[in-house]
Amino acid sequence: MIAATIIFIGGLFSVVGAFLAARQAINDGKELDSRNGQIIELTKENAKLSKQALDQITGGKSWAFIRSGLETEKGIMNQESLWTINLVGDIPLYDVSLTLYKIKHDNTLPTKAHNLITVLSKHLGTITPSLHQDNIGLLTLHGDKGKIEFLVKIKARNGEITQHIILLQKEGKYWTKAEKVFRYKPADNGGFSKEVLMQKIDEDFPDKDHIEWIEL
């Protein structure tokens, strides 16, 4: 009887021991999952902070465009006026330089071709978020048969922006405008994809659906 009791108690201790070990394993697993979750969250936070720090160095997703002259409700005025560079985004752009070209189309060739004539080229340095845009210079509009086209290249640490501006002269001293701003960014296939940042066409701009954009 005593021997049977001892065996029973021994078996009971074994069952209890196995149960406690299993529960401890479950608790250890939960603690491990919790720690792994904390590590994942810390990794995400570190990656976010690293991205923010990198953005502050490169300019992140910020970009800039040129505002063409004295714009009024009637259009752009045909007079000497300040042109400005405008920042879009909360992060400054660094090492900014721009080149403004006038586009001359060559209609003597069987295929479409054009020449780029440099109007101005300058280094602007850092462009910061501000209510006051940075001036790039005084320009006066002079058109050929009432049409002027400009191509703008804006380079910064975070890449290059292209802006195509088309001006058509209206009655009097005003011009109507169509413009497009875009950039190329790395694609998943190893190449580049075009990202349109802005496209604006005045209401009175003719033949809006057949604009031939230059996307160099």
Q: What is residue 15's predicted lDDT score, i.e. its pLDDT? A: 56
Under 8 Å between Cβ of 29 and 48:
no
Q: Which residue has the higher pLDDT, 119 or 110?
A: 119
Mean pLDDT value across the chain = 79
Greater pLDDT, 112 or 174: 174
Q: What pLDDT digit, counting tens, does each position of 4-22 carry?
A: 555 545 555 565 566 556 6
Q: Give yes or no for a contact between 133 and 85, defined as CB atoms under 8 angstroms apart.
A: yes
Residue type at position 172: G
Instruction: Inform me whether the pLDDT recorded for 163 exceeds 90.
Output: yes
Instruction: Give the separation between CA 142 and CA 10, rounded to whole angstroms.
Output: 104
C-alpha to C-alpha distance for 166 and 146, rounded to whole angstroms: 11
Task: Name, in order, each residue with C-beta under 8 angstroms of 133's C-beta and a sequence gap of 6 or more.
Answer: 67, 84, 85, 86, 87
pTM, two decimals, is 0.71
Per-residue pLDDT at 143: 64
Contact 175, 148 (CB under 8 A): yes
Residue type, 37: G
Helices (H) and strands (E) in the chain, counts: 1, 11
